[in-house]
Amino acid sequence: MGSLPHVVEDCYGLLQLYSDGSIHREKNIDLTAFSVKDDGSIQYKDYCFDKLNDLHLRLYKPKSATSTTKLPVVYFLHGGGFCFGSFAWPNFHNCCLRIASALHVIVVAPDHRLAPEHRLPAAIDDSFGALKWLQELARNPKNDVVDFFDFDKVFIIADSCGGTIAHHLAVRLGPGSPELAPIKIRGYVMLAPFFGGTERTKSEAEGLPEKVLTMDVLDTFWRMSLPIGETLDHPIANPFGPKSPSLEQVNLDPILLMVGKDELMRDRVKLYANRLKELGKIASYVEFEGKQHGFFTNEPYSDVSEPQYVVGFKRDLDNNETLTAAIRSKGQIVLNVASSGIASLLLDGGRTVHSRFAIPLNVVEDSMCSITTDSPLAELIREAMLIIWDEAPMMNRLSSEAFDRTLRDINSSTYTPKSDNVLGGKVVVFGGYFRSKGQIVLNVASSGIASLLLDGGRTVHSRFAIPLNVVEDSMCSITTDSPLAELIREAMLIIWDEAPMMNRLSSEAFDRTLRDINSSTYTPKSDNVLGADAEEINNFAEWILNIGERKIGGKNDGHAEVEFPKEMLIPNSDDHVGSFIKEMYDNWEDNLWDPTYFQDRAILAPTQQEVDKINELLKVGAPIMCLRNIDQRGGPCNGTRLQIVRMRINNIEGKIISGGQLGTVVAIPRMVISPYDKKMPFQLNRRQFPISICFAMTINKSQGQTLYKVGLYLERSVFFTWTTLCSRIEGKEQEGSENVTLRQ
């Protein structure tokens, strides 16, 4: 007779693995130490995303959200060493409630199968499956909840073993997660990710005392979750182990790593962060003094969790969106407008400035908006706390002056403020690209998430090499003759966001370093700022600035000829249009139903005449542009790009491929079009679809849209805003070609 089954692995007495492979799992785990803190401001509901494995997720939504407000999405992966945990546990539930309420976002918290019943990579596959469920929801909305999702702004926050899953998702999905379109992941926050390795780190070897975790417990988790017979150097456990594939050629979205200074896994996480930085990835590492594993989720309302969750993360959301949400949450009015229809779609409740404020289409020096002082619109403007005008520099100066005169007039009666104040005393935020003089501005932030929002932003540790462990006489690791020192000397301005969050010693080390850099006699060179790897970008940026400063094209009185660099040109041929289309839309019929193919590329031309040459065929699958404001809240308005899904006699179904309603299928009806022509003694009416083919579009129509690959078709001399060209170059050279291809 053989021996009876005996325990070979035991975790807290709650989970036991026997020698015969059987498993005992305690069903009633005492979690009374965590009380749910629900103030009623958040609604939540559970959904099944995997019927085969009976897996569920929980969606959290602020009650104050409205159907016209698109909220960013936080995808939360809970911890538990792959062996325990659920979104329903009170500590994880509290954490999700806190994120949803503090950041005013949607939170999606999935469960995964647990080990040792289901060993890795089961948990990773389940987490990816939940993302695919979310993708299907984005493509085919089935309930009212999806009306609140901004699938273009998805962030992953992952705790402990959830951080391990997040790493493997980041590697698989790549930047922007094209596999999940229209979902776009913007970045990852890993809260003490659970990694391992056969070679102990210093903190692991020292066995820093924690209330719950010990090295024996961590090792037990790995033995019970990894495939049977594998070691801690398995690629799932050790991303940089001897068996792990190289990440050198793998592009990743930005990653923020946060860990308590008293954690056993502290040095393991720090090692992971340093290896990512060595490979050129965007990664930030933050330690919290005196904190142990799990304080982010176990204490989501603590003071130390507040700055990172609320301040750091919230600033990664759009500035306009944050301003709007903050003011409207107090019951005050914000009017969001934009110069173009496409840009207005990206604003919460956005309208074009002409539509909202009745600015005349043909403005002159003394024009006024068509708003009477006793109208409901005038009353709305008087009561508004804030007006946000995006892409303001695109408009004629006379339009903004007409707007100014109108605001002064509206507030000139007994209302305050007085009419002699600029803009009638209203607070107006003008957004957009305001022409600079080419000086260098370095944007940094104390936290990784906040740095993502800044233009060219980096963490202060990454940009200025501030030591992680600073002392009274610390200096940044920058030599006076280094390229970074050159860059700092040439910078006109340094902006440090969230500076008060940093240790005083860090700012003092930064001060000493700047004094040292600027005290030498070293003369900075202008031809080696960011190194050889960025030479292409530097050359392109310099070319753009030289055009703006009129240094290229010689002396001119409004007309100049600009020669494009050879590397921007595409091959010429006898068939200009045909070769250009082939370069931009090669094998387009094979990519008809790829949701990102038409979304990411377009041909731009100066006038409609050139556009019509390229847009020859209309068929199912072709990209089109809506030419009327049909439904600004629901999606299709003047400038919206769509892909034809179905054609009927009286309407066309199209899937939106631009703006904030990506993936939404809408119907465009025939409409009565009445061209305005003063020369005709009568008015013509024609019932037609308000669309045009959009393989190509005019340069003006492209404003406010983000494109991965852009082609400029130039048959004649042309003037246009050079911000259109601020993107990464892609193309082949060919002498004499007048067409260029640009890639972001």
- Is residue 195 within 8 A of residue 237, CB to CB? The reply is yes
Looking up tokens 């005449």, which residue turns up? 609
Task: Tell me how far apart the alpha carbons of residues 323 and 331 are, in angstroms, rounded to a whole number.
Answer: 13
Residue 55, Cα to own-chain centre: how many angstroms? 28
Do β-strands 384-390 and 333-338 pair in parallel, antiparallel, or remain unpaired? Answer: parallel
Task: Please state at what angle helix 504-517 crosses helix 483-490, rounded to 10 degrees.
Answer: 90
Q: Are strands 623-626 and 641-647 parallel, antiparallel or unpaired?
A: antiparallel
Q: Which of 293, 451, 692, 737 is catalytic?
A: 293
Q: Using alpha carbons, select from 603, 588, 576 the residue that is nearest to residue 734.
A: 576
Q: What φ, ψ does residue 599 adopt, rounded to 5°? A: -65, -35
Tell me whether strands 458-459 and 440-445 are parallel, antiparallel or unpaired: parallel
Q: Tell whether the torsion through CA atoms of 249, 253, 254 and 255 is positive or negative.
A: negative
Q: Residue 263 catalytic?
A: yes
Largest CA distance in the chain: 108
Strands of 98-241, DSSP E? 106-110, 149-159, 185-191
Between the alpha carbon of residue 543 and those of residues 531, 533, 540, 565, 733, the distances in Å are: 17, 18, 5, 9, 17
Q: In what order do the strands lie in the sheet with 23-25?
A: 7-11, 15-18, 23-25
Q: Alpha-carbon distance 143 to 304, whole Å?
A: 37
Residues 668 and 626: beta-carbon distance below 8 Å:
yes
- Listed residue (117, 83, 85) closest to 11, CA to CA: 83
The number of residues in the chain equals: 744
DSSP secondary structure of 2-48: PPPP-EEEEETTTEEEETTS-EEE-S----TTS-----S-EEEEEEE
CA atoms 208, 214, 220, 225: torsion sign: negative
State the amino acid at position 706 in one-letter form.
T
Catalytic residue among 101, 127, 160, 692: 160
Residue type, 727: S
- Name the E strands within 589-689: 601-605, 623-626, 641-647, 651-656, 665-669, 671-673, 686-688
Catalytic (active site) residue 168: no
Out of 78, 177, 204, 263, the active site residue is 263
* First and final C-alpha spacing in the chain: 71
Please name the residue that has the structure tokens 């010990």.
Answer: 214
Confirm whether 563 is a catalytic residue.
no
Residues sharing a CB contact under 8 Å with residue 423, sequence separation 6 or more, in sequence order: 403, 404, 407, 408
Alpha helices in 371-471 (DSSP H): 376-383, 397-410, 448-453, 460-464
Characterize the bridge pairing of strands 185-191 and 149-159: parallel
- Please report, for residues 502, 546, 604, the alpha-carbon distance to residue 728 in angstroms, rounded to integers and kept in the order given: 34, 17, 16
Pair of tokens at residue 267:
């040095």
SS3 of 658, please? coil
User: 445 is written with which tokens?
Assistant: 């932030």
What are the tokens at 502? 């940093």
Alpha helices in 300-360 (DSSP H): 305-306, 313-314, 319-328, 341-345, 353-357
Q: Determine the distance from the C-alpha atom of residue 478 to the mean position of all C-alpha atoms in its chain, rounded to a whole number.
A: 31
Positions annotated as catalytic residues are 160, 263, 293
